[in-house]
C-alpha cells in the first residue's frame, strides 16, 4: 500500500454537524465526511483491493466506496485529522492477515487425566444402580 498515493485519493466534504449546539452549529460546517473509492484506487495492489472489498463489505456503498464521518471536535481541521487517522487504522486492520493456527496434539498427561475423570464418572453412575440380586 502506497500511503501517500492513497492519501492523495481521499475526498473530503464539510457538512453541518447535527445535534444540540445553539446558534454556532447552524452556521459552521465542522463535520467532515471522507470518501475513498477502493476499486479505482491506484495506491493499492489488486490483492489488497480484493481483501478490502471482502473485509469491509458491510461498510461500503454499492460501488465500493468507503464513507467515514467525524464530528467529534469543534474544528473542521481537527475532524479532518481524526477521520484520516481512523481511515488508515481501518485499512491497516482490514489488510492484516491473521496467523495460521498450528493444531497441537494433547499431552500424554492430559489424555490420562481425561480418561481417569471419565472412569470416575462412570463408576459413580454405576454405583447409583440398584444391586443385582439375581
Residue range 4-33: mean pLDDT, rounded: 83
Asked if residues 47 and 31 have their Cβ atoms less than 8 Å apart, the reply is: no
pLDDT of residue 115 exceeding 90, the answer is yes
Helices 46-55 and 76-95, interaxial angle, to 10°? 100
pLDDT of residue 26 exceeding 80, the answer is no
User: Could you give the CA distance from residue 114 to residue 124 in angstroms, rounded to a whole number?
Assistant: 15
Instruction: Work out the widest C-alpha separation in the chain, in whole angstroms.
Output: 96
The pLDDT score that the predictor gives to residue 104 is 93
User: Could you give the CA distance from residue 52 to residue 10 in angstroms, rounded to a whole number?
Assistant: 16
Residue range 85-111: mean pLDDT, rounded: 93
pLDDT of residue 132 exceeding 90, the answer is no
Domain boundaries defined on the chain:
3-95
Q: How far is CA 132 from its chain centroid?
A: 62
pLDDT of residue 134 exceeding 70, the answer is no
The answer to pTM > 0.75 is: no
Domain spanning 3-95, CATH architecture: 2-Layer Sandwich (3.30)
Query: Which residues of the chain form beta strands (DSSP E)?
Result: 11-15, 31-37, 65-70
The pLDDT score that the predictor gives to residue 69 is 92
Amino acid at each position: 500500500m502506497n500511503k501517500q498515493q492513497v492519501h492523495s485519493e481521499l475526498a473530503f466534504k464539510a457538512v453541518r454537524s447535527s445535534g444540540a449546539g445553539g446558534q454556532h452549529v447552524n452556521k459552521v460546517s465542522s463535520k467532515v465526511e471522507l470518501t475513498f473509492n477502493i476499486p479505482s484506487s491506484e495506491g493499492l495492489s489488486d490483492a489488497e483491493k480484493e481483501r478490502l472489498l471482502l473485509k469491509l463489505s458491510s461498510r461500503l456503498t454499492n460501488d465500493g466506496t468507503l464513507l467515514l464521518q467525524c464530528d467529534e471536535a469543534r474544528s473542521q481541521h481537527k475532524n479532518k485529522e481524526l477521520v484520516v487517522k481512523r481511515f488508515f487504522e481501518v485499512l491497516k486492520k482490514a489488510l492484516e492477515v491473521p496467523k495460521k493456527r498450528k493444531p497441537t496434539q494433547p499431552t500424554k498427561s492430559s489424555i490420562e487425566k481425561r480418561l481417569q475423570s471419565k472412569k470416575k464418572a462412570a463408576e459413580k453412575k454405576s454405583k447409583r444402580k440398584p444391586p443385582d440380586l439375581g
